[in-house]
Amino acid sequence: MVELETPKMDAVFHALGDATRRHMLRDLAGGERTVSQLAEPFAMSLAAASKHIKTLENAGLIRREVRGRTHLCRLE
Using the CB atoms, write b or e for 53-73: b if 16+ within 10 Å: bebbbebebbeeeeeeeebeb
Give the chain's domains with CATH numbers: 6-75 (1.10.10.10)
Query: What pTM does this model have?
Result: 0.88
C-beta separation of 59 from 15 below 8 A:
yes
Query: 35-45: per-residue pLDDT in tens?
Result: 999 999 998 99
How are beta strands 70-75 and 33-34 bridged, if at all? antiparallel
Digits of tens for pLDDT over the chain (76 positions)? 455 678 888 999 999 999 999 999 999 999 999 999 999 999 899 999 999 999 999 999 999 999 999 999 999 9
Classify burial at 49, counting beta carbons within 10 Å of its beta carbon; exposed 0-12, middle 13-18, buried 19 or more. buried
Question: What percent of the chain clears pLDDT 90, i.e. is strictly above it?
Answer: 84
